[in-house]
Structure 1
Amino acid sequence: MTSPTVQRRRRRRLLAVATAGLALCIGVSVTSLAAWQQSITVAGSDGNGGFGSSLLKIELSLDGGTTWTAATVNANGSLNFGSNASLLTPGDTVYASVLLRAAAGSRGADVTLQGGTVGSDALLGALTYGARLGVLRADCNAASFPSAGQVLVNAGSVLSAAAPTSFSVPTPTTTGQPGTAVGVCLAVSLPTGVPSALGGQTTSPLWRFDATSR
């Protein structure tokens, strides 16, 4: 019969062997994970370089496309409605053209025509206007206005009326060249029946085009 002391010694040896085996198993497991794991890094690009952000650059022309200037928040020149604009008689309508395009290197834009500024000026409040889209300067006149392009703002609208929908100024398709120009024709009228007290007055309406990069 084995004495209790001998039994205790055997149990200690078995426990030591079991513990060594557990440690060995853990060691093998860690080594295996390291052997089968790998970190991979890839860079994003446009095919030629890294990522970049666009910058919206709209240009406008007030002379039918002969001269183009970069549009700014202020000081964009004056729409030329002709000499009759300063001598309106009730029932008269005058016309002016503006062309918009995306500059070279710019994205295109969705543009909304906002109404003319209306303040306490009585004459400014009496004027009405209409706007048509897709009209070149040569067709921005009394003969062509009713049918040229498409309606942007209905004729006879109050000067403060904004266009109900935006229009597209396309992105340039050729590197280093501007995009296709989009023409807007404005027709401003002094309606019949306005008070005679408005005679001899002057005013300066302002229109704003709000462009959002596409």
Structure 2
Amino acid sequence: MTTDLSHESERDDRSVRRRKVRALLAGGLVLGVGAAVTLAAWTDNVFGQAEFSAANWNVQGNFDGTTWGEYDQTPGNAAGSFSFSTGFNAMGPGDTVYAPVSLRVGKGTTAGGAYDATVKLNGATPSTGALFPHLTYTVVPGVTRADCLAKSLAGGTAPIVAAGSALGVSSADSALTLLKAGTEVPLCFAVTMSPTVAASTVAGTTTGVVTWRFDATAVLP
């Protein structure tokens, strides 16, 4: 039997070509996957961080001539106590008693803060005590502690609460300006019992504990 070698050779060539094509296709698939991995690796990241803080600012009071504090009646922080001159607890018609207090801008417990402040004084509350309606007051800035305790308003500037005002009267909204440098601003409270009230009306009565509140607002740029 005669063998057609040329046909066998052609079949062999076609088989080799098919294997090469399959190998190339397989190689292409592998190359395709490899290309995708390589492209994914060409990435990078840059991170930036920052932390922000609010400016430190508060308003502090000094009632005893020594101790500065916020006295804002938050937990653990009671109201300040006025040191009125002798006789505040045994007043008679026409008597006047005096108490100094100073204010300043601060941060934490130290002087000086981020902003100036404007201050309003709110009238005394509550008004339920029997003696309350028979008392009037005035508040004068610029009076030194020593003069105030000596029952003098000498050296003071224009009152932020006019003389003869009822205890519940408030000052104007921006009655005082406190500078951010922390400069102390002294005030003198003078409280007077009506000179015409009958002793039988007020004898033995009290106002009860009353509270004045200073509202401070930062002056923002």
Distance verdict in 2 for CA 1:94–1:143, change over 3 Å: closer
- 1:59 deviates by 1.4
The residue that corresponds to 1:180 in the other structure is 183
Query: Gaps (5+ residues) in structure 1?
Result: 1-48, 173-178
After TM superposition, the structure 1 = structure 2 runs for residues 1-214 of structure 1, keeping only pairs within 5 Å, are 52-64=53-65, 66-73=66-73, 75-104=78-107, 105-141=113-149, 144-145=152-153, 148-164=156-172, 165-172=174-181, 179-195=182-198, 196-203=200-207, 204-214=209-219
With normalisation by structure 1, the TM-score equals 0.67
Regions of 4+ moved over 4 Å? 49-52
User: 1:165-203: per-residue Cα shift (whole Å, max 9, x none)?
Assistant: 42111102xxxxxx1111111000101111322111122
Cα distance, 1:88 vs structure 2: 0.2
Q: For residue 133 of structure 1, report the CA deviation from its aligned partner.
A: 1.2
Query: Shift in Å at residue 139 of structure 1?
Result: 2.1
Aligned length: 160
What's the CA shift string for 1:55-95, capped at 9, x where partnerless?
4311111123x221233235122101133000000000000
Q: Given the superposition, is the C-alpha separation of residues 131 and 150 from structure 1 closer, same or farther in structure 2, using an over 3 Å criterion?
A: same
Change (3 A) 1:118 1:128: farther
Aligned equivalents of 1:192, 1:124: Cα separation in 2: 14
Quick one: distance in 1 between partners of 2:203 and 2:123? 23
- Rounded to whole Å, the distance in 1 between the matches of 2:150 and 2:167 is 19
Offset, 1:141: 4.8
Q: Quick one: distance in 1 between partners of 2:119 and 2:146?
A: 22
Identity of matched residues, %: 38
Q: Is the 8 A contact 1:118 1:159 kept in 2?
A: no
Whole-angstrom distance in 1 between the partners of 2:196 and 2:126: 20
2-side partners of 1:153 and 1:114: how far apart?
Answer: 10
Matches of 1:147 and 1:121 in 2, distance apart? 33
SS of the counterpart of 1:197? helix
Stretches of structure 2 lacking an aligned partner (at least 5 in a row): 1-49, 108-112
Counterpart-to-counterpart distance in 1, 2:83 and 2:151: 18
1:22-73, CA deviations, whole angstroms, 9 ceiling, x for partnerless residues? xxxxxxxxxxxxxxxxxxxxxxxxxxx9864324311111123x22123323
Whether contact under 8 Å (2:102, 2:187) holds in the other structure is yes
| Preserved contact between residue 59 and residue 106 of structure 2 (Cα < 8 Å) | yes
Question: What is the SS of the residue equivalent to 1:207?
Answer: strand
Conservation of the 8 A alpha-carbon contact between 1:58 and 1:71: no
Q: CA RMSD in A?
A: 2.3
